[in-house]
Amino acid sequence: MADSSKPMPKEADRRSFLKIGAGVVAGAAVASVAGVAYYDSVIGSNNSSSSSTVASLQGQLATANSQLSSTQAALQSAQGQVSSLNNQLTATQGSLNAANSQLTSVSGQLSSTQASLTSANSQIASLNGQVTTLNGQVTTLNSQVSSANAANTALSANLDTTSAFLSFSTTEQVELEAICESIIPSDSTGPGAKETGAIYFIDRQLKGTYGMSGLQYRSGPFIPSNVSTAFSVNSPTGMINYPGGSVTYVNGSNTFTVKYPPTANVRVGAGTRFQYAFDMKTFWTIGLAGIQAYANAQYGGNFETLSAANQTACLTDLWNNKPTYDGANGAITGGPSGSYQEVVLGVNSPAAGVPGGTHFGPVLPSDFAYELFFMVWNGFWVDPVYGGNKGMLGWKYVGFHGTNLGNFYNEGYTSKQLMVATTPITLQPASLGQYQKGSP
């Protein structure tokens, strides 16, 4: 809205103003055209240089794009590897979890084993203490054994200078010593019949009441061995007829008929089982001679010269009654006609004495075999007062303490303690002679 307060210009002034404005506008237009022409000339002059630069940039861009494509491919490959590694990692994690579970279980077992090991170590320590104690006891016992061995050696030497045979001849001594050794040999486990002097026990028994059959019933009838059927005694002749199976005896002027059942062996053991009219010493004389004769006939030499195997075989033959009686071939030889042996043994020969050839005369071989073993074993472990078991070696070998009731050598045991002990208590033995003296 025009300001009506001011005065309007004059016409001439207005035209001058319009002219001046038109000139200004025209000048501006010309200037614009000139500017455009100027910039065109500048752009035109720089156009070729710009094209080269653009081409270079485009090449670089293409290279960069190629590198970008290659990088993208590598990235995709890497992403695939990462995915694969992730899968492997997941599987490994599962295995690790399982391993951890197993490790937990093993750790538990290890803890339990450790506890057991600790307990075992404690037990071992305790046992080691016991072993130490036992070693001390063993040392003490070894010292005692050494002392005992020294005493035994001295005792044996003394016994060998004072002992003598009272019953056996020199040839019987050699043979019986070998028989005793064959029955109870000495070896790495301990002494045998020879070391314990069993032969001296037998020798002294045969020299005394036992050898004379002083406590045995010696009257008839004398029952033969191995009779298969019942038989009768009805003859007053007083003779024993071998090998006929008949038994006769005399009772005053009367004739008795007594019927006996079948018989078998062994018939030697105790009392009336000894079915021979002669005494025990004669029984041994015949038996030893029979073994020697049989050993020569069957095995080619005296018993003491045979190998250990043949000695055992020879004694086994006795148990099996392999040697047989044969009066027709002179089973009894070497004595005067009409001697005790001829009459009692019933052999009508001008030379009656001891068995010869391969025979035992009227003695049943198994009877003598039983007697041999019985007496040898008795000589091994009876009280030394009877002549055998010297140095109490037999008792020491089997662990028998004789008359030591627990405190004979001040061991400090009572008889009750010995009886109720859960494990056997081995004591040094004491003999009857020591017991009677009241001191070792």
**pLDDT (tens digit per residue) in 349-403:** 333 333 333 467 778 888 899 999 999 999 999 999 999 999 999 999 999 999 9
Q: Where are the alpha helices (DSSP H) in 208-339?
A: 280-299, 308-319
| Cis, bond preceding 268 (omega within 30 deg of 0) | no
pLDDT of 315 over the 60 cut: yes
Please provide the average confidence, as pLDDT, over all residues in the chain: 74
pLDDT tier at 239 (50, 70, 90 boundaries)? very low
Place of tokens 């404005």: 21
∠411-436-439 over CA atoms, to 5°? 35
**Contacting residues for 250 by C-beta, under 8 A, at least 6 apart:** 220, 236, 237, 238
Model-level pTM? Answer: 0.55
pLDDT in tens, 61-71: 888 888 888 88
* CB-based contacts of 192, cutoff 8 Å, min separation 6: 180, 181, 184, 185, 186, 380
